């Protein structure tokens, strides 16, 4: 035992502390040095008074390991309510601890925040580790109202008096290579197109252009298609006008038509830019005619869609295009309310290696400023910096303008609606509530999927049921005669039968037994079945309705004598039973009696090949099997019917008996023999056909 009284050499103490695994090392601690440990005894001796408290630090490995909570064998802690498939986040709520604490309780076996804990035993152990007890209850339903309470929504539309003019937001769309990027590039006066990999638009964002008139226009500098679809998919219609770029040398192409349809379904006005007019192959009339064929009638052809003929590359008529856009925007009376909480739409988001998460938004309402707390779906941002497309820092962003925002905790997706909230606390509450909503939606979707599956199963079940009914497998009190036309017209031997039983239960049991019948060579046709004595109708069925002769099988029911006589007169058989297996036997016999006899092979004898001889016949050598008859007899007339010669020694014989050697030659001379082959002699014979049916008893 050594008493530590002074910490002079921290390094030594650290090593010592590491050895002891004590949480704190204090001068009052009495420590034991294990012989042969890495700490030499002398290094501790001579240490004097120690006024400090040392906290043992975790090693890197220990830091990685989840905290271990012991399971208390007889936990008498608080009782907590949990439910099956409770998630880690939900359990954290129940235990009023954070998610990491809960993860530790599971010893790192469960990681995801929203992972449901399926293993009840694991859950039980984890709760015991927390010193509580658990009881399983049904999952508490969080009502929609409760969830809605914390969510935020866009404000109601502003009144006309609150509206102030704002730049129109333009999306440029068109077929691949028709010049969208070049147009945006020329409008912005930068060379985006040159920097693109393979010439395909990858740059994403939005920028505003100031016209000579002082008016401004904001262009969504994105592959119009993708941005537009993403925004539409999330219900955000950011675009005021679509510029449809059509290359004059190519005309309307597949994607041009798609864009027209998109614009129409979103009810966004179109302005056509017939591009590449500088190209020698340019055919403006043709392009306009093609547009007409696709429902876009330009002004020159008597319609109301403006078409500006431009060259994006040579910057021809670009002013005309922007002026036309400004004019159209004026006609549309585009305006917005720049006051109050910000409402915006995410145009794009990306991660910059130096600046972190960035997201370009177009402000639709309110004025965006540094420090604003924003929320997009379940992602929040505290606006740290705002820049325009040229990278200039902005102090505020008014409606109709775009800005790239820094300060996002995670990346929001394009098309998400961005809303300003009062504080980070409110943002967190909104996120929680939206996550709750999503979970509910997921549960709904799951429920929907389960319901759909159940319905599908029920449908299958009903179909099977119907099938069973048709083959007479299912219980029905009285199943009327089936339609005569439901019987296939073929020559297959068929036993037509009518069943009469005393009670439904027995009838059901008989039908169930009959349903096991599946011998393919004789059909069982249950014409009708029912409960009760044989009635006139059962009998008449045979002659009048079906022109078939069905046998009436009764089970524990009688047949009035008069009907019996009538049946006999009409050669209708009525067979009475009171034991099911006997009834089944009778049915089998009746089936056997209608089946024609079948041909079977009757093995007469077997011979084993001992040697193969090759005998010359004329110029050919033919094989002969030198055999010994081992079973029965070999008959020349029956053996394979292809035997050309059967000899004992040198004599041609007709029969070889068991134990006798012989030489066999087949008509088919290509048959070669090997020692050990078995040659079987058989005859065909006719046998009564016996139905194979195992009803299970
Ligand atoms: N002659 C001529 N060529 C043009 C004009 N505008 C674009 N181009 C050329 O057409 C090609 C395609 O132009 P882009 O601007 O990349 O076309 P895009 O529609 O953006 O293509 P994607 O990004 O692939 O959808 C490039 O080689 C441009 O130089 C024009 O006005 N005249």
pLDDT of residue 386: 92
Give the least confident one: 20-29, 164-173, 444-453, 647-656: 20-29
Give the least confident one: 323-327, 383-387, 411-415, 536-540: 536-540
CB 136 within 8 A of CB 84: yes
Number of other CB atoms surrounding residue 75 within 10 Å: 16
Ligand 1 atom showing the smallest separation from residue 310 Cα = 31
The protein residue whose alpha carbon is closest to atom 27 in ligand 1 is 177
pLDDT of residue 469: 59
What integer is the mean pLDDT of 363-387? 94
Ligand 1 centroid–CA 312 distance in Å is 8
Higher confidence at residue 471 or residue 529?
Answer: 529
Is residue 293 exposed (0-12), middle (13-18) or buried (19+ Cβ within 10 Å)?
Answer: exposed
- Res. 33 pLDDT band, cuts 50 70 90: very low
The two tokens of residue 162 are 């609150």
Ligand 1 atom showing the smallest separation from residue 279 Cα = 1
What integer is the mean pLDDT of 492-504? 85
Q: Is residue 182 in contact with ligand 1, taking CB distance under 6 Å?
A: yes
pLDDT of residue 74: 55
Ligand 1 centroid–CA 176 distance in Å is 8
131: Cα separation from own chain's centroid: 40
Residue among 288, 231, 281, 222 nearest 256 (CA):
288
Q: Is residue 360 in contact with ligand 1, taking CB distance under 6 Å?
A: no
Q: Is residue 105 in contact with ligand 1, taking CB distance under 6 Å?
A: no
Higher confidence at residue 581 or residue 305?
Answer: 305
Ligand 1 centroid–CA 330 distance in Å is 29
- Res. 279 pLDDT band, cuts 50 70 90: very high
pLDDT of residue 159: 85
Half-sphere exposure of 676 (CA within 13 A, CB side): 0
Asked if the model's pLDDT at residue 445 lies above 50, the reply is yes
- Res. 222 pLDDT band, cuts 50 70 90: low
Ligand 1 centroid–CA 177 distance in Å is 5
Is residue 401 exposed (0-12), middle (13-18) or buried (19+ Cβ within 10 Å)?
Answer: buried
The protein residue whose alpha carbon is closest to atom 25 in ligand 1 is 176
268: Cα separation from own chain's centroid: 35
The protein residue whose alpha carbon is closest to atom 12 in ligand 1 is 177
Ligand 1 centroid–CA 511 distance in Å is 77
Q: Are strands 79-82 and 133-136 parallel, antiparallel or unpaired?
A: parallel
| Backbone phi and psi for residue 275, each to the nearest 5 degrees, phi listed first | -100, 170
Q: Is residue 175 in contact with ligand 1, taking CB distance under 6 Å?
A: no
Q: Is residue 471 in contact with ligand 1, taking CB distance under 6 Å?
A: no
Q: Is residue 103 in contact with ligand 1, taking CB distance under 6 Å?
A: no
Higher confidence at residue 265 or residue 234?
Answer: 265
Q: Is residue 200 in contact with ligand 1, taking CB distance under 6 Å?
A: yes
Q: Is residue 539 in contact with ligand 1, taking CB distance under 6 Å?
A: no
Residue among 38, 59, 47, 36 nearest 9 (CA):
47
Asked if the model's pLDDT at residue 34 lies above 50, the reply is no
- By 3-state DSSP, what share of the chain in percent is helix, strand and coil, each rounded to 5? 30, 30, 40
**Which position has the token pair 């010592």?**
16
Q: Is residue 199 in contact with ligand 1, taking CB distance under 6 Å?
A: yes
Q: CA-CA distance, 527 to 569, in Å (whole number)?
A: 21
Ligand 1 atom showing the smallest separation from residue 312 Cα = 31
Mutate to test the pocket of ligand 1, among 174, 176, 177 (most ligand atoms within 8 A of CB): 177
Ligand 1 centroid–CA 202 distance in Å is 14
Mutate to test the pocket of ligand 1, among 202, 227, 243, 313 (most ligand atoms within 8 A of CB): 313
Q: CA-CA distance, 669 to 617, in Å (whole number)?
A: 11
| Backbone phi and psi for residue 209, each to the nearest 5 degrees, phi listed first | -120, 130
Percent of the chain whose predicted confidence (pLDDT) is above 70: 77
Q: Which residues pair with 231 in a beta bridge?
A: none
**What is the Rg, in whole angstroms, of the alpha carbon atoms belonging to the chain?**
46
CB 296 within 8 A of CB 272: yes
Q: CA-CA distance, 119 to 630, in Å (whole number)?
A: 68
CB 66 within 8 A of CB 55: no
Ligand 1 centroid–CA 390 distance in Å is 22
Q: Is residue 222 in contact with ligand 1, taking CB distance under 6 Å?
A: no
DSSP assigned state of 301:
G
pLDDT of residue 78: 79
Q: Is residue 186 in contact with ligand 1, taking CB distance under 6 Å?
A: no
Asked if the model's pLDDT at residue 410 lies above 80, the reply is yes
pLDDT of residue 485: 57
The protein residue whose alpha carbon is closest to atom 8 in ligand 1 is 179
Give the least confident one: 5-9, 154-158, 360-364, 619-623: 5-9
Ligand 1 centroid–CA 292 distance in Å is 23
- Res. 246 pLDDT band, cuts 50 70 90: very high
What integer is the mean pLDDT of 391-400? 91
Ligand 1 atom showing the smallest separation from residue 175 Cα = 19
- Res. 31 pLDDT band, cuts 50 70 90: very low
Asked if the model's pLDDT at residue 26 lies above 60, the reply is no
CB 278 within 8 A of CB 311: yes
User: What are the pLDDT digits (tens) for 89-141?
Assistant: 888 888 888 888 888 888 878 777 777 888 888 888 888 888 888 887 777 66
Contacts of 693 (CB under 8 A, 6+ apart): 516, 517, 518, 519, 584, 588
Residue among 503, 498, 600 nearest 539 (CA):
498
Asked if the model's pLDDT at residue 647 lies above 60, the reply is yes
Q: CA-CA distance, 99 to 93, in Å (whole number)?
A: 8
Asked if the model's pLDDT at residue 269 lies above 90, the reply is yes
pLDDT of residue 234: 59
Q: CA-CA distance, 264 to 270, in Å (whole number)?
A: 9
pLDDT of residue 639: 65
What pTM was estimated for this model as a whole? 0.49
Q: CA-CA distance, 305 to 318, in Å (whole number)?
A: 17
Ligand 1 centroid–CA 236 distance in Å is 29
- Res. 168 pLDDT band, cuts 50 70 90: very high
The region, left, alpha or beta by phi > 0 then psi within -120 to 50, assigned to residue 340 is left
Mutate to test the pocket of ligand 1, among 185, 199, 202, 224 (most ligand atoms within 8 A of CB): 199
| Backbone phi and psi for residue 270, each to the nearest 5 degrees, phi listed first | -110, 140
Q: Is residue 312 in contact with ligand 1, taking CB distance under 6 Å?
A: yes
Q: Is residue 313 in contact with ligand 1, taking CB distance under 6 Å?
A: yes
Mutate to test the pocket of ligand 1, among 172, 181, 220, 250 (most ligand atoms within 8 A of CB): 181
Give the least confident one: 61-75, 229-243, 613-627, 679-693: 61-75
ipTM higher than the 0.95 cut: yes
What integer is the mean pLDDT of 180-208? 61
Percent of the chain whose predicted confidence (pLDDT) is above 90: 22
Q: CA-CA distance, 559 to 572, in Å (whole number)?
A: 13
pLDDT of residue 228: 65
The two tokens of residue 435 are 């996550």
CB 508 within 8 A of CB 564: no
Q: CA-CA distance, 482 to 471, in Å (whole number)?
A: 10
Q: Is residue 279 in contact with ligand 1, taking CB distance under 6 Å?
A: yes
Residue among 88, 174, 189, 70 nearest 131 (CA):
70
The two tokens of residue 680 are 């079987």
The region, left, alpha or beta by phi > 0 then psi within -120 to 50, assigned to residue 514 is alpha
Q: Is residue 179 in contact with ligand 1, taking CB distance under 6 Å?
A: yes
Q: CA-CA distance, 591 to 493, in Å (whole number)?
A: 8
Q: CA-CA distance, 615 to 622, in Å (whole number)?
A: 5
Ligand 1 atom showing the smallest separation from residue 185 Cα = 15
The protein residue whose alpha carbon is closest to atom 2 in ligand 1 is 276
Ligand 1 centroid–CA 349 distance in Å is 25
pLDDT of residue 416: 87
Q: Is residue 357 in contact with ligand 1, taking CB distance under 6 Å?
A: no
Q: What is the DSSP string of 458-506?
A: HHHHHHHHHHHHHTT-S--SEEPPPPGGGS--S---EEEEEEEESSHHH
């Amino acid at each position: 035992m050594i008493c530590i009284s002074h910490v002079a050499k921290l390094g030594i103490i650290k090593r010592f502390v590491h050895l002891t695994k004590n949480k704190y090392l204090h001068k009052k601690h009495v420590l034991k040095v294990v012989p042969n440990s890495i700490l030499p005894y002398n290094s501790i001796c001579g240490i004097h008074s120690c006024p400090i408290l040392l906290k043992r630090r975790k090693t890197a490995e220990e830091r990685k390991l989840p905290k271990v909570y012991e399971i208390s064998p007889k936990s008498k802690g608080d009782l907590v309510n949990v439910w099956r498939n409770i998630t880690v986040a939900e359990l954290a709520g129940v235990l009023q601890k954070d998610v990491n604490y809960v993860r530790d309780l599971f010893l790192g076996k469960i990681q995801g925040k929203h992972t449901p804990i399926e293993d009840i035993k694991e859950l039980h152990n984890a709760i015991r580790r927390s010193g509580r007890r658990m009881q399983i209850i049904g999952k508490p339903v969080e009502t929609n109202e409760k969830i809605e309470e914390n969510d935020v929504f866009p404000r109601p539309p502003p009144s006309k008096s609150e509206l102030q003019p704002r730049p129109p937001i333009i999306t440029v769309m068109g077929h691949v290579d028709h010049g969208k990027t070049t147009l945006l590039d020329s409008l912005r006066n930068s060379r985006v197109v040159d920097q693109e990999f393979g010439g395909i638009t990858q740059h994403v964002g939005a920028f505003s252009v100031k016209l000579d008139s002082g008016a401004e226009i904001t262009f969504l500098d994105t592959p119009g298609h993708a941005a537009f679809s993403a925004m539409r998919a999330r219900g955000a219609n950011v675009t005021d006008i679509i510029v449809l770029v059509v290359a004059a040398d190519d005309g309307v192409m597949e994607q041009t038509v798609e864009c027209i349809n998109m614009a129409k379904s979103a009810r966004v006005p179109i302005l056509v830019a017939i591009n590449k007019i500088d190209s020698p192959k340019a055919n403006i009339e043709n392009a306009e005619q093609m547009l007409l064929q696709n429902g876009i009638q330009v002004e020159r052809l008597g319609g109301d869609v403006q078409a500006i003929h431009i060259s994006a590359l040579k910057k021809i008529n670009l002013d005309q295009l922007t002026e036309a856009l400004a004019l159209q925007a004026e006609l549309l009376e585009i305006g917005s309310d720049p006051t109050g909480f910000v409402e915006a739409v995410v145009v794009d988001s990306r991660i910059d290696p130096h600046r972190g998460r960035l997201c370009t938004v177009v402000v639709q309402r309110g004025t965006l400023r540094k420090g604003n707390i924003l929320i997009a779906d379940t992602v929040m941002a505290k606006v740290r910096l705002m820049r325009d497309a040229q990278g200039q820092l902005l102090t505020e962003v008014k409606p109709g303008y775009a800005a790239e925002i820094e300060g996002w905790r995670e990346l929001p997706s394009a098309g998400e609606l961005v809303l300003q909230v009062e504080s980070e606390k409110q943002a967190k509450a909104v996120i929680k509530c939206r996550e709750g909503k999503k979970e509910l939606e997921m549960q709904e979707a799951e429920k929907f999927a389960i319901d759909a599956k159940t319905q599908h199963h029920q449908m299958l079940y009903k179909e099977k049921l119907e099938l069973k009914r048709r083959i007479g497998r299912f219980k029905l009190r009285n199943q009327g005669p089936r339609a005569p036309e439901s019987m296939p017209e073929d020559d297959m031997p068929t036993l037509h039968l009518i069943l009469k039983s005393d009670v439904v239960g027995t009838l059901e049991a008989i039908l169930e037994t009959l349903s096991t019948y599946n011998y393919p060579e004789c059909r069982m046709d249950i014409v009708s079945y029912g409960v009760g004595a044989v009635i006139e109708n059962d009998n008449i069925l045979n002659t009048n309705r079906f022109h078939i002769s069905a046998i009436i099988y009764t089970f524990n029911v009688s047949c009035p004598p008069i009907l019996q006589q009538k049946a006999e007169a009409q050669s209708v058989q009525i067979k009475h039973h009171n034991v099911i297996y006997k009834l089944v036997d009778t049915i089998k016999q009746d089936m056997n009696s209608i089946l024609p006899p079948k041909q079977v092979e009757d093995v007469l004898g077997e011979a084993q090949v001992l040697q193969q001889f090759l005998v010359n016949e004329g110029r050919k050598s033919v094989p002969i099997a030198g055999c010994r008859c081992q079973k029965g007899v070999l008959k020349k007339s029956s053996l394979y019917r292809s035997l050309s010669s059967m000899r004992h020694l040198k004599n041609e014989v007709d029969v070889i008996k068991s134990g006798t050697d012989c030489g066999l030659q087949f008509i088919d001379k290509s048959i070669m023999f090997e020692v050990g082959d078995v040659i079987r002699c058989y005859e065909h014979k006719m046998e009564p056909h016996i139905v194979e049916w195992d009803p299970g008893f």
